[in-house]
Amino acid sequence: MPVDYEPIIGLEVHAQLKTASKAFCACPATFGSRPNVNTCPICLGHPGALPVLNSNLVNYAVKMGLATNCSIRGTSTFSRKNYFYPDLPKGYQISQYADPICHDGYLTIETLEGEKHVGLTRIHMEEDSGKSIHDLDVDTLVDLNRSGVPLVEIVSEPDIRSAKEAYLYLQQLRQILIYLDICDGNMEEGSLRCDANISVRPKGTAEFGIKTEVKNLNSFRNVEKAIEYEILRQIHVLESGDTVVQHTMMWDASAQQTRIMRTKEHVHDYRYFPEPDLVPVVVTSNTIDELRSELPELPSAKKKRFMEQYGLPAYDSEILSADRNLANYFESACESLRSPGKSSYKLVSNWIMTEHLRIMSDMKISVSELRITPKQTGSLVDAVADGTISNKVAKEIFPELLASDRTATQLIQERGLSQMSDEIVIRNLVREVLEKHADNVRKYKQGKTNLKGFLVGQVIKESGGTANPAMVNVVMQEELDLISMD
Amino acid sequence: MTLPDSKLTFTADRELFASGSARVADRAAEFLQRIDQYSDLNAFISVSEHAFGSLASDSDERYTSGLQRPLEGLAIALKDNISFKGLRLTCASRILETFEPVFNATVVERLLNSGALIIGKTNMDEFAMGSSSEHSYFGPVKNPLDPQRVPGGSSGGSAVAVAARMCHVALGSDTGGSVRQPAAFCGVVGFKPSYGRISRYGLVAFASSLDQIGIFARSVDDAALVFDVIKGHDPMDSTSVATDTRQSTTQRKGYRVGFLSDEFIDGCDESVRSAYALFREHLISRGAEVSDVSLPNKQTWIPTYFILATAEASSNLARYDGVRYGVRADDTSSDMITATRTAGFGKEVQRRIMLGTYVLSSGYYDAYYKKAQQTRRLIAEAYAEVFNKVDFIAMPTAPTTAFQRGEITDPVQMWLSDLYTVSANIAGIPAISLPFGTDSSGLPIGMQLQGAMFSDEDLLQFSGKLISA
Ligand SMILES: [Zn+2]
């Protein structure tokens, strides 16, 4: 009988923090400058230079901990992780070891089987290394702009059971980091990095199998693919009667396979010990309360609220709350409505989910770069909702709203696009048409009721296309009913 | 040479400068001339002739116009592990032979702002690792009293510069006695403040949790004057502390001083032991209240010190890899970093890096580093307990007077010569070595006073009274 295997996965995620300056010096932590420009004696590891902790690093780490249900340590310390590498200027990385600032939290992911908690072992603060550039004809080049840029490392419990769950966990983590505005979440540029610890065991057994660590997972797609590949590889090894060897692997995206990077014999001994140049990090309960009060509403809470407050379907709420700026956009558009109400909210959601998102993806821009403001969007929905313009006209003027600073109301007035809804005018037009088309009226009365559509069309034509069709319909019916055929 | 009169201090010179009876520029020239004259002692690695000379005339102008700053015209030498932008920073190592620092240490900034003139950088044991100043890439430093003998270490060059009057005052660094022991061997005052009282920013790290910049001077007053300027919190050094953390107890009439048992000093030379007994009498004659105290854990001092110091050193010296600065060995080697470090570091430095790497290795950490941290706490607690009963503890600075160059070849034997100095670094407390008599060959003996954490000002004040006539 074939054995059913169960994968055991834990993720280690490094998130580069968006602080203005580096973790232990005043250099800018910006991305994309010329090589080695953002450096100083401290991040270059000059003799005699000492680190000074950037308090924003602590604040950001605590916020991340609070957002992921972690306990925050009142006193935590930094340690040195010692190893030699050309892009590590001091020969050690300042990190945390025995007492990370945040510990024992969890994230909730929504799997097909329902909600699931993934435990967080720890979140700790550390500094980034520089970058080595090997793939040039010349020697290895080193860029130390990144040296000392603050990171948090977020380590999960081995609670993840599939590549899909790993994907959902990582997505949730990224969403929170972006919501907190502490990391830009860009995996391709390396501001979010993921390593996976993977093992498999026969389903039903309690003991973990031997794990491998897979590095270099630089996109969501690669995370999913590499984990899937590694699970299958390990099952294959076990099925062939062999044992999995504890290697450090790396994902080769071009070959679509995992490759051995380091064998166990070459595992580093990092010789961690307490960093003597820094004093313990103290986070008071006052600071924790203050940071907690600064936390934004998180995506899952926002989704629930959108469903309740705006009466949106789960699907709409999920999409709108996935991006904090998009959610804010939606809410300000709703707030600007002249006639608020659940049907208008749904209209706003429809517009954003179809037109706005389409434009954002076509033009590869973010919400904040959209030319149409929430207020303009609201005025458009208002105009459709109160019958000033038809949905068709609304779609026609949408591109113009994108290109101008005017509201829909202003555009409608300037272009005379508003639907004519004056009942007296419409009634007069209806009467004129009925007089002009007396024979058709007779045929209608004799039973050819489908001629009503023709007559309505004539009225709209007479109005130059501005008459509100719904109202014309009502008035037409009334007038036709008044006519007696004798 | 015979040592110049110990009354030739900056405190005395300052009066002369202010009254116009001596000029800073002349004194500066005299110091430069002496550096040149006694260059055989090998006290200096770099001398700042030019800048030093022109700044001296500026100081004279300030004295003339009454605008002098607290240390106006003070000629000060820096151990060559303190960063000063004008001169290379070698740590007496081949690996930094040509290194030009790009920033000033905080102490240098404070000295310059107070009118001090930096005369040069002094020779030392490579990366401050040693007790004899023999382990320098630039050759050994010689004791001015007997050039066959060592000046002590690791700040030997600074001790010699002050003893031979090549400057008013010198800075050194004291990780396990590197200021106090050479001060004792050369017959000058050597002060190591409490850990954190002087910023370490710009001091090249040997063992960060033990390192402290210290002062060599010809009088306690001179040392106190310089300490006043360079002490205090520095935002660039997170481990530095504010100045007024402890209320002074100066109002008290007599200080209480604790002396240790005969057994405690039984490894010392006869001359040192009798000096210790005389020191006790001297203190009584100066009105101190003397009593017997004991420090129970002496046998743990040296192991604790060497485990912690080498562990931190193995990490602190990892940055010298030939990648960004300093000497790079054999570019074509497949492992440039190993080649650079093998060629760039001397034997004693390599020995300590290996030892430190070993004690931090997985599987050994608990047995060595962790245990040493525990004994460190016990040592500090034992001190704190004694300081509940006395204000200061007296003990010899070193078990011997200056020994012959090449006399101690066994590294462990050399480490043991730090026996009486390491404990102040382990506990973080202030300590001072005061010249007190000589042995039968006329070599100076140093007596040490240690005080409770942050009692630096009291310790200096008490010491000043002791050796003033
Ligand atoms: Zn920097």
- What ipTM was assigned to the predicted interfaces of this complex? 0.96
β-partners of residue A115 are A110
Q: Is the pLDDT assigned to residue A416 strictly greater than 80?
A: no
pLDDT at B317 over 90: yes
Is A276 within 8 Å of B99 when comparing Cβ atoms?
no
Nearest Cα neighbor of B166 from B28, B55, B278 is B28
Rg (CA), chain A: 32
Q: Which residues of A touch B372 (CB under 8 A)?
A: none
Which residue of A83, A271, A279, A282 to mutate against B (max B Cβ within 10 Å)?
Answer: A271
Pick from B239, B318, B369: which is nearest to A91 by CB? Answer: B318
- Flag whether residue B201 sits within 8 Å of chain A, measured between CB atoms: yes
Indicate the residue of B82, B102, B203 with minimum beta-carbon distance to A41: B102
End-to-end alpha carbon distance in chain A = 90
> Which residue, B93, B205, B77, B88, is CA-closest to B139?
B93
Cα gap B89→A376, rounded to integer Å? 65
A278 touches chain B (CB under 8 A): yes
Q: Is the pLDDT of residue A307 over 70?
A: yes
CA of A83 to the centre of ligand 1 (A): 20
The four Cα atoms B374, B379, B382, B384 give a dihedral, to 10 degrees, of: -100
Task: Judge contact between A193 and A250, C-beta under 8 A.
Answer: no
Query: Which residues from chain A sit within 8 angstroms of residue B89, using beta carbons?
Result: 47-48
- Strands A248-252 and A212-217 turn out to be parallel
Residues present in chain B in total = 469
Distances in whole angstroms, Cα of residue A261 to Cα of each of A214, A248, A256: 9, 5, 15
CB–CB of B452/B391 below 8 Å?
yes
Chain A residues near residue B428 by CB distance under 8 angstroms? none
Measure CB to CB from residue A48 to each of B201, B311, B365 and give the nearest one.
Answer: B201
**Average pLDDT of the residues of chain B:** 94
| Residue B151 backbone dihedrals phi, psi, to 5 degrees | -90, 5
Cα→Cα distances B467→A136, B14, B218, B236, B251, Å: 67, 20, 11, 36, 20
Q: Do the beta carbons of residue A348 and residue A381 sit within 8 Å?
A: yes
Q: A82 vs B314: CB contact, 8 Å cut-off?
A: yes
Q: Quick one: tokens of B80?
A: 């060559």
| Closest by CA position to A29, among listed A2, A60, A8 | A60
**Distance, CA of A353 to CA of A313 (rounded, Å):** 12
Contacts of B143 (CB under 8 A, 6+ apart): B41, B149, B150, B151, B152, B160, B185, B186, B402
Q: Which of B202, B232, B105, B120 is nearest to B168 (CA)?
A: B120
User: Is the torsion defined by CA of B331, B332, B337, B341 positive or negative?
Assistant: negative
Over residues A455-461, the mean pLDDT reads: 89
Contact at 8 Å (CB) between B191 and B460?
A: yes
- Pick from A80, A61, A81: nearest CA to A71: A61
Q: Chain A to chain B, count of Cβ pairs less than 8 Å apart?
A: 100
- Tokens representing A158 are 């081995």
Polymer length in residues for chain A:
486
Q: Environment class of residue A368 by beta-carbon count within 10 Å: exposed (0-12), middle (13-18) or buried (19+)?
A: exposed
pLDDT in tens, A45-68: 999 999 999 999 999 999 999 999
Q: How confident is the model at residue A262 (pLDDT cuts 50, 70, 90)?
A: confident
| Residue whose token pair is 């319909």 | A473
B248 has pLDDT over 70: no
pLDDT tens string B131-184:
999 999 999 999 999 999 999 999 999 999 999 999 999 999 999 999 999 999
Domain spans of chain B? 10-230, 256-294+376-455, 302-367
Distance CA A367, CA B119 (A): 63
Touching B: A residues 103-142, CB under 8 Å: 142
Interface test with A, best of B238, B310, B358 (most A CBs within 10 A): B238
Instruction: Work out the number of other CB atoms within 10 angstroms of the CB of residue A48.
Output: 21
Q: Is the pLDDT of residue A418 over 80?
A: no
Q: How far apart are CA B289 and CA B441, in angstroms?
A: 32
List, as one string, the DSSP characters of A167-234.
HHHHHHHHHHHHHTTS----TTTTSEEEEEEEEEEETT--S----EEEEEE-SHHHHHHHHHHHHHHH
pLDDT tens per residue, range B319-347: 999 999 999 987 666 688 999 999 999 99
What lies within 8 Å, CB to CB, of A472 at 6+ separation is A426, A429, A430, A456, A459, A460
Q: Which pLDDT band holds residue B11 (cuts at 50, 70, 90)?
A: very high
CA of A76 to the centre of ligand 1 (A): 24
Are B199 and B106 spatial neighbours (Cβ–Cβ below 8 Å)?
yes
- The answer to whether the CB atoms of B311 and A273 lie below 8 A apart is yes
- Distance of CA B95 to CAs A185, A211, A338, A354, B140, Å? 41, 42, 75, 65, 17
pLDDT of residue B426: 98
B66: its two tokens: 């009454």
Task: Please give the C-alpha separations between residue B322 and each of A93, B96, B318, B332, B340, in angstroms, as whole numbers.
Answer: 18, 10, 10, 13, 6
DSSP string, B5-70: PTT--HHHHHHHHHHTSS-HHHHHHHHHHHHHHTGGG--EEEE-HHHHHHHHHHHHHHHHTT---T
As a whole number of angstroms, the distance between CA A13 and CA A153 comes to: 6
SS3 B85: coil
Other beta carbons within 10 angstroms of residue B374's beta carbon come to 12
What per-residue confidence (pLDDT) applies to A77?
98
Ligand 1 midpoint to CA A47 (Å): 14
B388, two tokens: 């509940």
User: For residue A142, which residues of chain B lie inside 8 Å, CB to CB?
Assistant: 323-324
* Alpha-carbon torsion, ordered A346, A347, A353, A354, to 10 deg: 150
Provide, as residue numbers in chain B, all residues whose Cβ is less than 8 Å from the Cβ of A272.
Answer: 360
- What pLDDT, in 10s, does the model give residues A345-404? 999 999 999 989 998 888 888 898 888 889 989 988 888 887 777 777 788 888 887 777
What residues of chain A, 27 to 86, have a C-beta less than 8 Å from chain B?
A: 41, 44-53, 80, 82, 84, 86
Dihedral sign computed on CA atoms, order B196, B201, B204, B208 = positive
Three-state SS for B420-467 is CCHHHHHHCCCEEEEEEEECCCCCEEEEEEEECCCCHHHHHHHHHHHH
Distances (CA, A) of B55 to B18, B52, B75, B217: 16, 5, 10, 22
* Residue for token pair 């004279």: B60
B432 contacts B191 by C-beta, under 8 angstroms? yes
Question: Residue A461 pLDDT more than 90?
Answer: no
- pLDDT, tens digit (0-9, with 9 covering 90-100), for B427-466: 999 999 999 999 999 999 999 999 999 999 999 999 998 8
β-pair type (B75-79, B117-122): parallel
Average pLDDT over residues A454-459: 90
d(CA A1, CA A87): 52
**B63: its two tokens:** 């004295």
Q: What is the pLDDT of residues B16-44, one digit of tens each?
A: 999 999 999 999 999 999 999 999 999 99
| Residue B314 structure tokens | 């193995």
pLDDT at A167 (0 to 100)? 96
Domains of chain A: 5-287 (no CATH), 297-415 (no CATH), 423-482 (1.10.10.410)
pLDDT at A359: 87
What distances in angstroms separate CA A169 from CA A110, A195, A258, A474, B442, one per listed residue? 9, 13, 21, 55, 77
Average pLDDT score over chain A: 91
Contacts of B319 in chain A (CB under 8 A): 45, 47, 89-91
List the beta bridge partners of residue A200. Answer: A7
Question: What is the DSSP code string of A371-432?
Answer: SS-HHHHHHHHHHHHTTSS-HHHHHHHHHHHHHSS--HHHHHHHHT-SPB--HHHHHHHHHH
Query: pTM of the full predicted structure?
Result: 0.89
Say if CB A144 and CB A36 are below 8 A apart.
yes
Residue A468: predicted pLDDT: 82
Quick one: pLDDT at residue A133? 87
Name the class of domain B10-230: alpha beta
Please report which confidence band the pLDDT of residue A316 belongs to, taking 50, 70 and 90 as the band edges. Answer: very high
Q: Which residue carries 């309360």 as its tokens?
A: A289
Q: A84, B321: Cβ pair inside 8 Å?
A: yes
Q: Does the CB of B337 have a partner CB in chain A at under 8 Å?
A: yes
pLDDT at A419: 72
Beta carbons of B163 and B2 less than 8 angstroms apart: no
pLDDT score of B199 more than 90: yes
| Contact assessment for residue B386 and residue B295, using Cβ atoms and an 8 Å cutoff | yes
B358–chain A nearest CA distance, Å: 9
CA distance B17 to B12: 9
Taking an 8 Å cut-off on Cβ atoms, the answer to whether B83 and A47 are in contact is yes
